[in-house]
Amino acid sequence: MSGKGAPQAVETVDASGLDVVVIAGMWHDVITDGLIAGAKRALDSAGATWRLVRVPGSFELPVAAKTALEAGADAVVALGVIIRGGTPHFEFVSSAATDGLTRVALDTGKPVGFGVLTLDDEAQGIARAGFADSEEDKGREAADAAIRTALVLRELRAG
Protein backbone atom coordinates (compact mmCIF):
# COMPACT_ATOMS: atom_id res chain seq x y z
CA MET A 1 0.00 0.00 0.00
CA SER A 2 1.31 3.38 -0.91
CA GLY A 3 -0.25 6.73 -0.27
CA LYS A 4 3.02 8.21 -1.49
CA GLY A 5 2.43 11.00 -3.96
CA ALA A 6 -1.27 11.37 -3.13
CA PRO A 7 -2.57 14.92 -3.64
CA GLN A 8 -2.99 16.89 -0.47
CA ALA A 9 -6.15 18.97 -0.77
CA VAL A 10 -5.34 22.34 0.71
CA GLU A 11 -8.87 23.62 1.02
CA THR A 12 -12.37 22.26 1.00
CA VAL A 13 -14.21 23.03 -2.21
CA ASP A 14 -17.73 24.44 -2.36
CA ALA A 15 -19.84 21.67 -3.87
CA SER A 16 -23.18 23.19 -2.96
CA GLY A 17 -25.59 22.58 -5.79
CA LEU A 18 -23.99 19.27 -6.74
CA ASP A 19 -26.13 16.14 -6.56
CA VAL A 20 -23.96 13.12 -5.74
CA VAL A 21 -24.95 9.48 -5.37
CA VAL A 22 -22.76 7.23 -3.23
CA ILE A 23 -23.13 3.64 -4.40
CA ALA A 24 -21.66 1.01 -2.12
CA GLY A 25 -21.42 -2.75 -2.29
CA MET A 26 -22.64 -4.88 0.59
CA TRP A 27 -19.60 -7.18 0.88
CA HIS A 28 -17.24 -6.70 3.85
CA ASP A 29 -19.55 -4.33 5.70
CA VAL A 30 -17.02 -3.16 8.30
CA ILE A 31 -14.63 -1.90 5.63
CA THR A 32 -17.43 -0.63 3.39
CA ASP A 33 -19.04 1.25 6.29
CA GLY A 34 -15.69 2.96 6.89
CA LEU A 35 -15.52 3.97 3.22
CA ILE A 36 -19.07 5.33 3.36
CA ALA A 37 -18.26 7.35 6.49
CA GLY A 38 -15.23 8.86 4.75
CA ALA A 39 -17.29 9.78 1.68
CA LYS A 40 -19.92 11.33 3.96
CA ARG A 41 -17.28 13.48 5.67
CA ALA A 42 -16.02 14.82 2.35
CA LEU A 43 -19.46 15.45 0.86
CA ASP A 44 -20.87 17.08 3.99
CA SER A 45 -17.88 19.38 4.46
CA ALA A 46 -18.12 20.46 0.80
CA GLY A 47 -21.86 21.09 1.05
CA ALA A 48 -22.92 18.63 -1.64
CA THR A 49 -26.37 17.07 -1.67
CA TRP A 50 -25.98 13.31 -1.61
CA ARG A 51 -27.67 10.02 -0.96
CA LEU A 52 -26.53 6.45 -0.40
CA VAL A 53 -27.59 3.48 -2.51
CA ARG A 54 -26.48 -0.08 -1.71
CA VAL A 55 -25.90 -2.80 -4.32
CA PRO A 56 -25.05 -6.47 -3.74
CA GLY A 57 -21.37 -6.19 -4.65
CA SER A 58 -18.67 -4.46 -6.68
CA PHE A 59 -19.74 -6.16 -9.90
CA GLU A 60 -23.06 -4.26 -9.74
CA LEU A 61 -21.48 -0.82 -9.20
CA PRO A 62 -21.19 0.16 -12.90
CA VAL A 63 -24.84 -0.39 -13.84
CA ALA A 64 -26.07 1.44 -10.74
CA ALA A 65 -23.61 4.28 -11.38
CA LYS A 66 -24.76 4.62 -14.99
CA THR A 67 -28.40 4.70 -13.94
CA ALA A 68 -27.75 7.34 -11.26
CA LEU A 69 -25.86 9.57 -13.67
CA GLU A 70 -28.44 9.17 -16.44
CA ALA A 71 -31.16 10.06 -13.90
CA GLY A 72 -29.47 13.41 -13.29
CA ALA A 73 -26.80 12.98 -10.63
CA ASP A 74 -23.79 15.23 -11.19
CA ALA A 75 -21.36 12.61 -9.90
CA VAL A 76 -21.18 9.16 -8.38
CA VAL A 77 -18.89 7.80 -5.69
CA ALA A 78 -18.46 4.04 -6.18
CA LEU A 79 -17.35 2.15 -3.07
CA GLY A 80 -16.57 -1.54 -2.90
CA VAL A 81 -14.30 -4.15 -1.41
CA ILE A 82 -12.82 -7.06 -3.35
CA ILE A 83 -10.50 -9.41 -1.44
CA ARG A 84 -8.25 -11.83 -3.28
CA GLY A 85 -9.05 -15.49 -2.79
CA GLY A 86 -7.72 -18.70 -4.27
CA THR A 87 -9.65 -18.51 -7.55
CA PRO A 88 -9.63 -16.16 -10.58
CA HIS A 89 -12.88 -14.58 -9.28
CA PHE A 90 -10.88 -11.65 -7.83
CA GLU A 91 -9.43 -10.72 -11.23
CA PHE A 92 -12.80 -11.02 -12.99
CA VAL A 93 -14.68 -8.84 -10.51
CA SER A 94 -11.86 -6.30 -10.17
CA SER A 95 -11.59 -5.92 -13.95
CA ALA A 96 -15.34 -5.76 -14.46
CA ALA A 97 -15.78 -3.08 -11.78
CA THR A 98 -12.82 -0.99 -12.95
CA ASP A 99 -13.57 -1.24 -16.66
CA GLY A 100 -17.29 -0.76 -16.11
CA LEU A 101 -16.90 2.35 -13.97
CA THR A 102 -14.43 3.84 -16.44
CA ARG A 103 -16.86 3.21 -19.27
CA VAL A 104 -19.71 4.79 -17.28
CA ALA A 105 -17.68 7.97 -16.72
CA LEU A 106 -16.69 8.21 -20.37
CA ASP A 107 -20.14 7.32 -21.74
CA THR A 108 -21.98 9.80 -19.49
CA GLY A 109 -19.33 12.52 -19.40
CA LYS A 110 -19.75 12.67 -15.62
CA PRO A 111 -17.30 11.78 -12.86
CA VAL A 112 -17.20 8.52 -10.99
CA GLY A 113 -15.14 8.67 -7.81
CA PHE A 114 -13.34 5.33 -7.66
CA GLY A 115 -13.35 3.89 -4.15
CA VAL A 116 -13.18 0.20 -4.97
CA LEU A 117 -10.51 -1.45 -2.84
CA THR A 118 -8.76 -4.45 -4.35
CA LEU A 119 -7.05 -6.20 -1.46
CA ASP A 120 -4.98 -9.21 -0.56
CA ASP A 121 -6.54 -9.38 2.92
CA GLU A 122 -8.91 -7.61 5.31
CA ALA A 123 -6.06 -5.85 7.15
CA GLN A 124 -5.26 -3.87 4.00
CA GLY A 125 -8.90 -2.77 3.84
CA ILE A 126 -8.94 -1.65 7.47
CA ALA A 127 -5.78 0.36 6.81
CA ARG A 128 -7.51 2.18 3.93
CA ALA A 129 -11.05 2.53 5.31
CA GLY A 130 -10.67 5.85 7.11
CA PHE A 131 -10.95 4.64 10.68
CA ALA A 132 -9.17 6.59 13.43
CA ASP A 133 -6.16 4.25 13.22
CA SER A 134 -6.25 3.80 9.42
CA GLU A 135 -3.37 4.98 7.28
CA GLU A 136 -5.65 6.20 4.48
CA ASP A 137 -9.24 7.32 3.93
CA LYS A 138 -10.16 6.04 0.48
CA GLY A 139 -13.86 6.82 0.85
CA ARG A 140 -13.07 10.47 1.51
CA GLU A 141 -10.55 10.52 -1.34
CA ALA A 142 -13.03 9.04 -3.82
CA ALA A 143 -15.76 11.53 -2.85
CA ASP A 144 -13.34 14.45 -2.98
CA ALA A 145 -12.15 13.39 -6.44
CA ALA A 146 -15.73 13.08 -7.70
CA ILE A 147 -16.82 16.53 -6.53
CA ARG A 148 -13.64 18.27 -7.67
CA THR A 149 -13.97 16.68 -11.10
CA ALA A 150 -17.67 17.59 -11.31
CA LEU A 151 -16.74 21.20 -10.60
CA VAL A 152 -13.98 21.16 -13.23
CA LEU A 153 -16.38 19.71 -15.81
CA ARG A 154 -18.99 22.36 -14.92
CA GLU A 155 -16.37 25.07 -15.46
CA LEU A 156 -15.20 23.59 -18.77
CA ARG A 157 -18.76 23.36 -20.07
CA ALA A 158 -19.46 26.96 -19.08
CA GLY A 159 -16.62 28.06 -21.34
Residues carrying an active site annotation: 89
146 closest CA partner among 101, 107, 97: 101
- What is the C-alpha to C-alpha distance for residues 146 and 159, in angstroms, rounded to an integer? 20
Q: Provide the pairing of β-strand 112-119 with 19-25.
A: unpaired
**Within 10 Å of residue 54's Cβ, how many Cβ atoms?**
15
Would you give the DSSP letter of residue 125? H
